[in-house]
Amino acid sequence: MTQLPSDCSHLGCTARPLLVVWEVEAHDHSAGGVSDNEQTAETAMFETLDALPSGRGRVRYARLSVLGIGYQYGETLLTAYRKNGATVAVAGDAWESIP
């Protein structure tokens, strides 16, 4: 996965600001959003995940793709899963390993 620098030292960075993307997946539900603030994205992800009986969620950095369609994803800041009414969070990327 491409790591996205946050210091804007490369060409095109000012045109493509660093964003924070959150997403939640469950059996019959999915949701997501974009923010320019890590805490806002994390809060939205947890609020959405906590409203479900089970599922998984993550928060990660992204920039709009060079073409402006879709995202170029960077580091995953937080992964969480919910099962039997309890939510567990893990720093970093644990999206594929969540039970």
Overall pTM > 0.85: no
Q: Indicate the number of domains in the chain.
A: 1
DSSP assigned state of 50: H
Does 48 map to a domain?
Answer: yes
Smallest CA-to-CA distance from 39 within 62, 22, 17, 14 is with 22
- Residue 10 placed within a domain: no
Tell me which amino acid residue 90 is. V
Band of residue 8 on the pLDDT scale cut at 50, 70, 90: low
- Contact indicator for 68, 23 with CB cutoff of 8 Å: no
Which residues span the domain enclosing 29?
Answer: 19-91
Specify if 32 maps to a domain: yes
- In which band, very low, low, confident or very high, does the pLDDT at 2 lie, cut at 50, 70 and 90? very low
Per residue in 26-85, pLDDT (tens digit) is 988 899 999 999 999 999 999 999 999 999 999 999 998 887 788 899 999 999 999 998
Contact 17, 36 (CB under 8 A): yes
